Structure 1
Amino acid sequence: MILITHCFVSLNSLLSIYAAQLLGTLSPMPFADPRTVGTRLLGGVNYASAAAGILEESGRHYGERFTLSQQVINFQSTLTQMQGLMTRGNLSTYLAKSIAVLVFGSNDYINNYLMAPAYNSSFNYKPPDFANLLLYRYALHILALRRMGLRKFVILGLGPLGCIPNQLARGIAPAGRCVDPINQILGTFNEGLRRMVTQYNRNHPGSIFVYVNIYAIMGDMLNNPSTYGNYLSTHVLILL
């Protein structure tokens, strides 16, 4: 998911709503909404697409979707429209002040790597190698967005996917427990993403990259649900 606000770029519709509320802005308009044109673009655009992944093939069994690469292309088309709304200098300033929220990777596991034999990625890659493939492709697109003018990035890691209903329904784990082997294979991706953010902050002065440790946040919600209110543990599982 890519979400861009003031201009806010988001790739997850529910997250975009919460993020907009925190920033005191209206929820970004969906990219595919025919009303998302002209000055409406200036309030932010939500490029999210269900089942979309970093890899082109992830989620293909669901049919049409905007993959990460297509979402970057969609953002470029938004920029083309914005060029008619303001000068080049003003657009550069506008983009530099915008926040890009990127949430990718979950579908590459849920709707690809963990879906053998429908997908052969788990036969072709060991977990660390698959994670590194995702990180390599992800990095290319993040830097492409930066070249387009964005300077502020919020990048979310993966949550404990072994705790979501999609995986619990497989009956692999004991009742009431998460599928630990699935959670364990996510470490390479999350740690690699954290290192990437650190490196980008060092190598790209004038830009800000923030890594959000969703795994720890969601893990705390699952382990201490009463702290967050009634029924939260169920809601957390769904949101992941």
Structure 2
Amino acid sequence: MATAARADSPPYGIDFPTHRPTGRFSNGYNIPDLISQKLGAELSLPYLSPELKGKKLLAGANFASAGIGILNDTGIQFVNIIRIHEQFKLFKEYERRVSALIGEEETQKLVKKSLVLITLAGNDFVNNYFLTPVTARSLEFNLQDFSTYLISEYKNILLSLYQLGFQRVLVTGVGPIGCAPAMLATRSINGQCAEEPNLAMKIFNPLLKKMLKDLNHELGSSAFIAIDSLEMQSDVIYHPRAHGFTTSNVACCGQGPYNGLGLCTTASNICPNRDLYVFWDAYHPSEKANKIIVDAMFNGTEKYMSPMNLSTIMAMDSMT
């Protein structure tokens, strides 16, 4: 798929077991990989991978497409990204392929006990509302109204997921994007986290948490689990040394101030020890930071995961 939003060239994947780029926006494993490992499951392949066939279909699939958002005008600067409603169509196709393998009834059971991770909204801010100093969306909405609009659109997406039969959906909030090296390079004063993007998160995340709680109540279910990415990542960003990092404001791979400008390529500055950096590139955490986030998903208190963490979910599901 020819798109400008991609991570399939070096130095991406430098710490992956193959030391080669895999399309993950990471120096090594990403969050879905690390969740799979903790569950003792196979890593899920991208749905469009030619390797995803036969028994491998039963290990799940990754439908994510870099740069997309809740809104269709998010990421329009990237060509050929697979928007969320197209991802749903691909899932239906995937379901048909699995049904051909194990039958319809078993496929429904598989869907029901699947764990889904959905991460949306960050790009609606980064690659839409805050893309340039003035954008069509920032002229149309103030931050409060934009966040409210995003939440109403997101609810429809999550209802569509529920209607597909999923009963365990992890929904991540948006992290402190104002602290990402890209924002420090373009919007920061004296290296402080950029105020307006971080204010957006403080408005958006509580609305998301409330919407998920209300949605569970409406559906009489506990299908949707809120992940407070802002709390999780803020802990690491504001107290890097407590987590074994030396810096949380400079990306390991990039160029310009804070290594926050442009793409991560072989021409970029690359740090020799990725485990000392919270950020791998201008926006994405390093593998080590991802591990800390995933640990919090499994073992975190309600500060991070509501209404329950992943360990609790797994314990409950093992009893059914």
Query: The residue matched to 2:80 in structure 1 has which SS?
Result: coil
Range that drifts further, 134-143 or 150-159: 134-143
- What does residue 199 of structure 2 align with? 184
Answering whether residue 166 of structure 2 is matched by residue 160 of structure 1, we say no
Contact 1:162 1:181 in 2 (8 A): yes
Residue type of the partner of 1:153? V
Residue type of the partner of 1:185? A
Q: Of Structure 1 and Structure 2, which has the larger fraction of its residues in helix?
A: 1
**Superposed displacement of residue 176, structure 1:** 2.7
Query: The residue matched to 1:218 in structure 2 has which SS?
Result: helix
Q: Which residue among 241, 255, 262 is the counterpart of 1:226?
A: 241
Q: Of Structure 1 and Structure 2, which has the larger fraction of its residues in strand?
A: 1
- What does residue 110 of structure 2 align with? 94
**Superposed displacement of residue 221, structure 1:** 0.5
- What does residue 211 of structure 1 align with? 226
- What does residue 48 of structure 2 align with? 32
Query: The residue matched to 2:230 in structure 1 has which SS?
Result: helix
Residue type of the partner of 2:126? I
> Superposition RMSD on alpha carbons, in Å?
2.1
Deviations 1:181-223 (A, max 9, x none): 2101222321111012211222223542110101011111011
Contact 1:162 1:182 in 2 (8 A): yes
| In 2: Cα distance, 1:92 partner to 1:207 partner | 18
Q: TM-score, normalised by structure 1?
A: 0.88
Contact 1:72 1:141 in 2 (8 A): no
**Superposed displacement of residue 67, structure 1:** 1.7
Contiguous gaps of at least 5 residues in structure 2: 1-23, 251-276, 286-320
Residue type of the partner of 1:26? E
Query: Alpha carbons of 1:111 and 1:149: their partners in 2 closer, same or farther (altered >3 Å)?
Result: same
**Superposed displacement of residue 87, structure 1:** 2.8
Answering whether residue 278 of structure 2 is matched by residue 236 of structure 1, we say yes
Residue type of the partner of 1:239? H
Give aligned-pair identity as a percent. Answer: 26
| In 1: Cα distance, 2:246 partner to 2:92 partner | 41
Residue type of the partner of 1:213? D
Q: TM-score, normalised by structure 2?
A: 0.67
Range that drifts further, 25-34 or 209-218: 25-34
| In 1: Cα distance, 2:177 partner to 2:224 partner | 24
Query: Alpha carbons of 1:228 and 1:141: their partners in 2 closer, same or farther (altered >3 Å)?
Result: same
| In 2: Cα distance, 1:16 partner to 1:117 partner | 33
Contact 1:51 1:111 in 2 (8 A): yes
| In 1: Cα distance, 2:101 partner to 2:114 partner | 16
**Superposed displacement of residue 17, structure 1:** 1.3
- What does residue 6 of structure 1 align with? none
| In 2: Cα distance, 1:112 partner to 1:50 partner | 14
- What does residue 208 of structure 2 align with? 193
| In 2: Cα distance, 1:135 partner to 1:183 partner | 17
| In 2: Cα distance, 1:163 partner to 1:219 partner | 9
- What does residue 128 of structure 1 align with? 144
- What does residue 72 of structure 2 align with? 56
- What does residue 45 of structure 1 align with? 61
Answering whether residue 183 of structure 2 is matched by residue 141 of structure 1, we say no
